[in-house]
C-alpha cells in the first residue's frame, strides 16, 4: 500500500475559534445551511461527536459524490485541532483505502485564521492516484468550502 501526503493552507477571514466551531463542532447544522446546493445533510450515525464518531454527509443530487462517511479521529477544542478519516464514499473507492485529514486552526494578525491541513491518502495495493489531480481538485473544493463559511460569517457576524 502506498501513501500520498499533501499539505495545504487556507486563509479565512474568521477567527480561529469560530471557524473551528463551525467546521468541526457544528458541521451537521451549519454546512447544509451554508452550502445547500452542495450538501443535502450531515448526520451522526454512530457516536456522540467525539473521537470514534461516524458522520454521513449526503451530497446534493448531481454531484460527483452521493455521500461520504467520516470517522472523527481526534478533536481538541483547546488547541483547535481536528482530524477525521474519510472511510466510505464513491470517490476513488477502487484505489483508496481511506484518507485522513488533520487540521490546525491558527490566528492571523488581522483577526482571521489559517487552516493548516495535512491529507494522507492510503492507496490500495498497486493502484495509482494522480497526486496533482488530488491537489488541484480537492484543494479547490476545500478552499471553496472555507470561502463559503467565511461569506456566511461576514454576512452574519452574530451567528
pLDDT tens digits for range 25-43: 999 999 999 999 999 999 9
Residue 141's pLDDT band (cuts 50, 70, 90): confident
Closest CA to 23 of 81, 107, 79, 91: 81
Residue 136's pLDDT band (cuts 50, 70, 90): low
**Distance between CA atoms of 136 and 134, rounded to whole angstroms?**
5
What 8-state DSSP symbol labels residue 29? H
State pTM to two decimals: 0.89
CB 116 within 8 Å of CB 110: no
Angle formed at CA 91 by CA 103 and CA 42, multiple of 5 degrees: 60
- Taking only the tens place, the pLDDT of each residue in 54-113 is 999 999 988 778 899 999 999 999 999 999 999 988 766 778 888 999 999 999 999 999
Residues forming a β-bridge with 112: none
Q: Give me 67's grid cell.
A: 455521500
State the average pLDDT over residues 11-33: 94
Q: Quote the pLDDT of residue 92.
A: 66
First vs last C-alpha separation in the chain:
44
Amino acid at each position: 500500500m502506498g501513501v500520498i501526503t499533501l499539505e495545504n493552507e487556507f486563509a479565512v477571514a474568521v477567527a480561529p475559534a469560530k471557524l473551528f466551531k463551525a467546521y468541526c463542532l457544528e458541521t451537521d447544522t451549519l454546512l447544509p445551511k451554508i452550502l445547500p446546493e452542495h450538501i443535502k445533510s450531515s448526520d451522526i450515525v454512530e457516536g456522540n461527536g467525539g473521537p470514534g464518531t461516524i458522520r454521513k454527509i449526503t451530497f446534493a443530487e448531481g454531484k460527483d459524490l452521493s455521500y461520504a462517511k467520516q470517522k472523527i479521529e481526534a478533536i481538541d477544542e483547546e488547541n483547535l485541532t481536528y482530524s477525521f478519516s474519510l472511510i466510505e464514499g464513491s470517490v476513488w473507492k477502487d484505489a483508496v483505502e481511506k484518507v485522513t485529514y488533520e487540521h490546525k486552526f491558527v490566528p492571523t494578525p488581522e483577526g482571521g485564521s489559517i487552516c493548516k491541513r495535512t491529507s494522507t491518502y492510503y492507496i490500495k495495493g498497486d493502484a495509482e492516484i494522480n497526486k496533482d489531480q488530488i491537489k488541484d481538485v480537492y484543494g479547490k473544493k476545500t478552499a471553496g468550502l472555507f470561502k463559503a463559511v467565511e461569506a456566511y460569517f461576514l454576512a452574519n457576524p452574530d451567528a
